[in-house]
Amino acid sequence: MRLEKSTLKDNETIKISGSKSISNRLLILSYLFKNLKIENLSNSQDTQLLHRALESNADLVDIHHAGTAMRFLTSYFAIQEGKTTVLTGSERMKERPIQFLVDALRDLGADISYLEKEGFPPLKINGKKLEKSSVAIPANISSQFISSLMLIGSKLENGLEINLVGKITSRPYLEMTLKILRNIGILTQWEGQVIQIFPNIHSDKSSQIIKCICESDWSSASYFYSLAAIGRKSINLKSFRPHSLQGDSVIKEIYWKFFGVNTISQGSESKISLMPESSFVFPEHISLDMNDCPDIAQTLCVTATALQIPFEITGLSTLKVKETDRLVALKNELFKIGCISEITDDSIYSVKFFEANENISIETYNDHRMAMSFAPFCLITPLTIENEQVVEKSYPQFWDDFAQVLDQY
């Protein structure tokens, strides 16, 4: 997709669909407890794939590139007594490790085996009743492994105690899972390194319908924060709440502190307005630990490059096992837009800015966030986004919404 050099319109309004993270958690819970009704479900490809997998009675379930679905379904199928499922995905999915989650489930008594490479999908899962109620798992791995266990915890006869070993990463995503569980009436507790999910064996027998409304997705909002920061005009986004379950809502504070984009909340309309401060003085350097919000790191690096603000972002170890190795991909593509950067196992930092070449073509590495995070750079210079349809994974209508806020698009 060719993006011509554009300017940002002022005061356009975009409605973003439900959070993928919240939707996927609620979908699993709605199939464990039959009295949940979900509204404003995400229209992302990942959520659709998860929904189809939960609806299917097939012995083989292919979730393609959907990492969250792979992790959440591994635990879900492990407790479906008497059902055998082969859970597989794309070639990239078969390269993404899942051993820590499988080990934890096996410790609880699950019957799971690897069909190809040890520690990686595809998996053969023989569903059964899990008798044990306590497990230990490293805390510095993907939070989705831990959330996967948390979601099934209350269906175990004695609940589930999860002992987190080591430094905790992506804490807000774990807190999100706990809040969602509490919202549907499941008792939970988190003290120190121990998360406790109490049994709630009667909730699926309740005749009372629990309505769950998915708030809109803050990760998707991040690309409009980038546009506002670079283009210095206001954008309105719906439907967002002032107090969010999502860790990525920290984008509000980050973009205010470093880029002068103020977030004004209009609670009665479930709307936020992104309003750049005209007199804002940009910092000389951005130094930030994004361990709690790694999914918005790419967006921030592109924004900083567009504004030529040196940056050092740490806490990004989980980016190496996403749809692609996002740190390598980010370094490669930042160079094309005028930033020499260096990476470590968990960080990226700018070394030097230079004038970007003409005929920029951004490779997306089959990663939706690469496409969307680099798109706002068209406010600086024309560029081409390769394989632009990859955005379907999380934000299918992105290009339509993106076009709506731009002139000369």
What CATH number is attached to the domain comprising 325?
3.65.10.10
Q: Which stretches within 33-120 are classed as H helix?
A: 45-55, 67-78, 99-107
Distance between CA atoms of residues 194 and 107, nearest Å: 17
Instruction: Look up 295 and say whether it is catalytic.
Output: yes
For the chain, the average pLDDT equals 93
Check whether 123 has a pLDDT greater than 50.
yes
- Nearest CA-CA partner of 170 in 236, 104, 109, 248: 248
**What is the pLDDT, as a whole number, of residue 149?**
98
Residues 185 and 223 in one domain: no
Residue 267, strand partner residues:
none
End-of-domain residue from the set 184, 213, 242: 213
Amino acid at 109: G
Burial class of residue 205 in the structure, from the number of CB atoms within 10 Å of its CB (0-12 exposed, 13-18 middle, 19+ buried):
exposed
pLDDT of residue 344: 94
Of 213, 246, 275, the domain-final residue:
213
Note whether 183 and 289 are same-domain residues.
no
In this prediction, residues 257-267 reach a mean pLDDT of: 93
Please state which of the ranges 81-90, 240-249, 343-352 shows the lowest mean pLDDT: 240-249
Nearest of 371, 324, 328 to residue 91 by alpha carbon: 324
Claim to verify: residue 187 and residue 245 sit in the same structural domain: no
Q: Is there a single domain that holds both residue 82 and residue 149?
A: yes
The answer to whether residues 161 and 309 belong to one domain is no
Using one digit for the tens of pLDDT, what is the confidence trace for 371-380? Answer: 999 999 999 9
Domain boundary (213, 237, 252) is at 213
pLDDT-based confidence at residue 269 (cuts at 50, 70, 90):
confident
Q: What is the pLDDT of residue 116?
A: 96
Together in a domain, 267 and 165: no
Distance from first CA to last CA of the chain, Å, rounded? 11
**Statement: residue 299 has pLDDT above 70:** yes
Q: By percentage, how much of the chain surpasses pLDDT 90?
A: 80
Annotated active-site residue in 295, 346, 367, 401? 295
Strand partners, 354: none
pLDDT band at 312, cuts 50/70/90?
Answer: very high
Residues 243 and 288 both lie in one domain: yes
Residue 34 and residue 65 share a domain: yes
User: pLDDT category, 98, cuts 50, 70, 90?
Assistant: very high
CB-CB contact of 138 with 167 (8 Å): no
pLDDT of res. 409: 47
- Domain ranges, residue 95: 20-213
Q: Are 312 and 305 in contact (CB under 8 A)?
A: no
pLDDT digits (tens, 9 = 90+) for 133-173: 999 999 988 899 999 999 999 999 999 999 999 998 888 88
Do 28 and 174 belong together in one domain? yes
Q: Per residue in 321-353, pLDDT tens?
A: 666 788 999 999 999 999 999 999 999 999 999
Check pLDDT > 70 for residue 205.
Answer: no
Kindly state whether residues 154 and 278 are assigned to the same domain: no
pLDDT recorded at residue 321 = 63
Shared domain check, 219 and 79:
no
CB atoms inside a 10 Å sphere around CB 379? 19
pTM: 0.78
d(CA 401, CA 295): 20
- Overall number of domains in the chain: 2
Do 201 and 258 fall within a single domain? no
pLDDT at 207: 63
Cβ partners under 8 Å of residue 159, min gap 6: 133, 153, 196, 197, 198, 199
